[in-house]
Structure 1
Amino acid sequence: MRVVIATRIFGPEVSAASGILRTWAEEFRDRGFEVAVLTARPPRGAVIDDPPGIDIRRAPVKRDRQQYVRGYVSYMSFDIPLAFRLLFSRRADLYIVEPPPTTVAVVRVIAWLRRTPYVVRAADYWSEAAELVTSNRFVLGTLRRIEAWGLQGAKRLFAAHDPLIARFRELGITTPAVPIGFGADTAHFRYSGQEPADPPLFIYAGTHSEWHGAGIFVDAMRAVVNRHARARLEYYGNGEDRDDMQARAAELGIADSVAFHPPIPPAELATILARATCSVASLAPVAANEYALATKVYSSLAAGCPVVFTGVGPTIEFLDHATYPAGVAVTYEPSAVAEAMIAAMDAPLAPPDRAELARWSSERFSLAAIATQVVDESLAIIRA
């Protein structure tokens, strides 16, 4: 049997989706499938380290100045060639597609033409997130219709969690959905007894764009630095808010305490997290994020690093009800965030506790377990 994964983002590009889809591809391969990945050429300087036994085909794509495939001009530069790549490739038994909605819509058209079922990794509801970058009713209405149409045609939605599925049902999207949750790539994110960082170190790992609201940690750092002058906040990733955050750090007089780095490979990031005082994560308090989950939390915990989260969404409930002290969720205010960061700095998690945190997290939130569930569900669709 042959599976084709259509995604604008895949390794070596650093993102949650890259790690998730690579794990899925490897599980399909290990279960005897022929696997092809149709994706985009990676950013400049990326070192390709493809998993063996998987046919990964990359095509040029338009990237923004942060080297990210973001915005609908970039999306279409991937989607239009994708239609022809799918149409003229060998027949598949199943397509797996990663949003944006335009990519899902393209796959629905080709899937109909080639009589091939498709499934969607539905981690978010994109149409509501788009309200953060445009208020144009025509654009938003068109996007909602495209997204609903693409999701409605799928044989299965592999959704992040039950609240997102409930939102889809409210919108009339009746496609069968499975809440698969999120997890960490425990092959890379783990704790190996690293010594705690000195001075205190806070890590934000991932995209920092409008709907993340990650600039709040820069504001909070002023109070943190007042408590410990050598404390540092480091961002790893990219995003449209970076210039504003750098300017804000300079305005607050803490530019030397806040550093911005490009994305780095998971294994390298895991080593940094394993030493950090804690990681920080955020989702801006807007309606689009009520169903979103900060996936970076799982990678941090698997590396033995507790989390300070601020914003909205299911991450709050996850941290509040974790059976092991994984971190805290606080209101989206600089003073509350600073207080939580200072508390983590004043009482850092000891190495034995970090090892236990990593063990607890890895046993419960592994991408490998999720991949097994995805392949089982996919087999049922193919054999139906």
Structure 2
Amino acid sequence: MSMRLAIVSRIYRPEPSAASSFLGAVADEAVARGHRVTVLTVRPPRGLDEGAPVEDVRMAPVLRDRSGYVRGYLPYASFDVPLFFRLLFLRRPDVVFMEPPPTTGFVVRLVCALRRIPYVYDAADVWSDAAEQVTSSRLVIRVLRATERFAMRGARRIVTISQGVLDRIAALGVGRPAVVTGFGADTGAFLPPADAEAEAPTEPVFLYAGTYSHWHGADIAVDGFAAFSRSTPGYTLRFIGNGSERAFLEQRARELGVADSVEFVETMPSSELVPHLHRAVATIATQRPGTGYEYAFATKAYSSMAAGCPVIFAGPPNGPTGAYLDQANLEVRGGIVSGYAAESVAVAMAALAARPLSAAERRSVADWTAERHSMAAVAGRVVDVIESVGQTRDGR
């Protein structure tokens, strides 16, 4: 039975991010099943082609931070306040699917309660836990945690990426039905070409692609690269993305004498990022230990391996990302779990620089990832949950 689905998010394609790709895949899957999809989102940054989406994408202006990202109190408010009225007067959907922050969830719960519309909450992580890494204000944390609980407790269903996040949600006292749907990559877009060169990679580059905030602890990538460069010069560490830690990372590179070999490139669409992944020796994913956030998964590992590029993971070895790489390495050369230490990262870089993956090995990594962690498969599981909510009269 066809239904009306509203997707609410402060970020959506063509703006490059894991959330954009995920939500776009959910919209594609829902449309393919015959549902009518309306997306309430924001205008993308200048220069990004909006394309011709099959879903009804309704964009509104929004404030952005200095890096061009919708992040922070005022940018969130510039989306959430108008959202109240946009969602209130939208033709009544059968179900709403929403993406955090929790302030957006607060608005969605209010409007959906007024209009008696069920909604599904996408809990890719726990925002109040992440906030503890960037603020020491207990008041801010308490307010954010209360807002997050309020938003999740109003949902008819919650979808999340891992059992770790699900356990953390339960520990916060949220008892709503939740489903682990996983999180994947757009494996079709990242797949290496079939006629790829026999020798790979073609550039002496280690790549960090994505956001670098405090809890990511991306400075360990700079420290490890500096140690690696002392014995193996001629390589580049390239950051593609944005984040609050850029000035700190640039300063760290200068202090360690590798500023000339560390590059910072602005966020780019997936279509432009893919060649960088195909040519790099490896990508680096980092996660600072001891933050109480060890249950989170470094989703950039999916995109990297979908492109056939191995991953160096510098973070808690007993977390979900390390377990994922260990599982992959039983069948393909997915990467190295280095631990969160500069010398360990340097050893991992040296190992992959000395014996980089061949084109055939890269293709095996990409095929393995596509088989198990495609975005399309994850989107299908999410739409199953949305349908289970939207196709019952009262959403229960």
- What is the TM-score of this pair, normalised by structure 2? 0.94
In the alignment, is the contact (CA less than 8 A) between 2:281 and 2:309 conserved in 1?
Answer: yes
Percent identity for Structure 1 against Structure 2: 48
In the alignment, is the contact (CA less than 8 A) between 2:238 and 2:264 conserved in 1?
Answer: yes
SS of residue paired to 1:287: coil
> Partners of 2:249 and 2:52 in 1: how far apart?
34
What code does the residue aligned with 1:333 have?
A
Alignment of 1:201-240 (within 5 A): 201-240=205-244
Partner in structure 2 of residue 320 of structure 1: 326
Partner in structure 2 of residue 7 of structure 1: 9
- How many matched pairs? 383
In the alignment, is the contact (CA less than 8 A) between 1:11 and 1:50 conserved in 2?
Answer: no
Partner in structure 2 of residue 298 of structure 1: 302
Partner in structure 2 of residue 39 of structure 1: 41
> Partners of 1:179 and 1:234 in 2: how far apart?
33
Deviations along 1:219-261, one digit per CA (max 9) or x if unpaired, are: 1111222222211111110011111111221222211211110
In the alignment, is the contact (CA less than 8 A) between 1:79 and 1:103 conserved in 2?
Answer: yes
Judging changes above 3 Å, is the alpha-carbon distance between structure 1 residues 199 and 185 closer, same or farther for their aligned structure 2 residues? closer
> Partners of 1:288 and 1:58 in 2: how far apart?
36
In the alignment, is the contact (CA less than 8 A) between 1:101 and 1:143 conserved in 2?
Answer: yes
> Bigger shift: 24-33 or 190-199?
190-199
In the alignment, is the contact (CA less than 8 A) between 2:67 and 2:243 conserved in 1?
Answer: yes
Judging changes above 3 Å, is the alpha-carbon distance between structure 1 residues 156 and 39 closer, same or farther for their aligned structure 2 residues? same
> Bigger shift: 281-290 or 255-264?
281-290
Partner in structure 1 of residue 386 of structure 2: 378
Partner in structure 2 of residue 110 of structure 1: 111
Deviations along 1:28-69, one digit per CA (max 9) or x if unpaired, are: 111111111111111233222242x21111111111100011
Partner in structure 1 of residue 20 of structure 2: 18
Q: Does 2:134 correspond to 1:133?
A: yes
Deviations along 1:247-305, one digit per CA (max 9) or x if unpaired, are: 22122221121111011111221221112111111111133422211111011111111
Alignment of 1:199-278 (within 5 A): 199-278=203-282
Deviations along 1:117-136, one digit per CA (max 9) or x if unpaired, are: 00011100111111112121
In the alignment, is the contact (CA less than 8 A) between 2:241 and 2:268 conserved in 1?
Answer: yes
In the alignment, is the contact (CA less than 8 A) between 2:187 and 2:366 conserved in 1?
Answer: no
In the alignment, is the contact (CA less than 8 A) between 1:158 and 1:177 conserved in 2?
Answer: yes
> Partners of 2:108 and 2:137 in 1: how far apart?
26
Judging changes above 3 Å, is the alpha-carbon distance between structure 1 residues 21 and 288 closer, same or farther for their aligned structure 2 residues? farther
What code does the residue aligned with 1:69 have?
V
Judging changes above 3 Å, is the alpha-carbon distance between structure 1 residues 32 and 114 closer, same or farther for their aligned structure 2 residues? same
2:355 maps to which of 343, 347, 366: 347
> Partners of 2:189 and 2:260 in 1: how far apart?
30
Partner in structure 2 of residue 165 of structure 1: 166
SS of residue paired to 1:109: helix
> Partners of 1:256 and 1:44 in 2: how far apart?
30
Partner in structure 2 of residue 61 of structure 1: 62
What code does the residue aligned with 1:348 have?
P
Alignment gaps of 5+ in structure 2: none
Alignment gaps of 5+ in structure 1: none
SS of residue paired to 2:151: helix
> Bigger shift: 356-365 or 217-226?
217-226
What code does the residue aligned with 2:179 have?
V
Q: Does 2:286 correspond to 1:282?
A: yes
Judging changes above 3 Å, is the alpha-carbon distance between structure 1 residues 124 and 90 closer, same or farther for their aligned structure 2 residues? same
> Partners of 2:258 and 2:137 in 1: how far apart?
37
What code does the residue aligned with 1:35 have?
V
Q: CA RMSD in A?
A: 1.3
In the alignment, is the contact (CA less than 8 A) between 2:203 and 2:280 conserved in 1?
Answer: no
Partner in structure 1 of residue 179 of structure 2: 178
Offset of residue 157 of structure 1: 0.7
What code does the residue aligned with 2:245 have?
D
In the alignment, is the contact (CA less than 8 A) between 1:199 and 1:230 conserved in 2?
Answer: no
SS of residue paired to 1:211: helix
2:369 maps to which of 336, 355, 361: 361
What code does the residue aligned with 2:266 have?
P
Moved over 6 A (4+): none
> Partners of 2:91 and 2:277 in 1: how far apart?
42
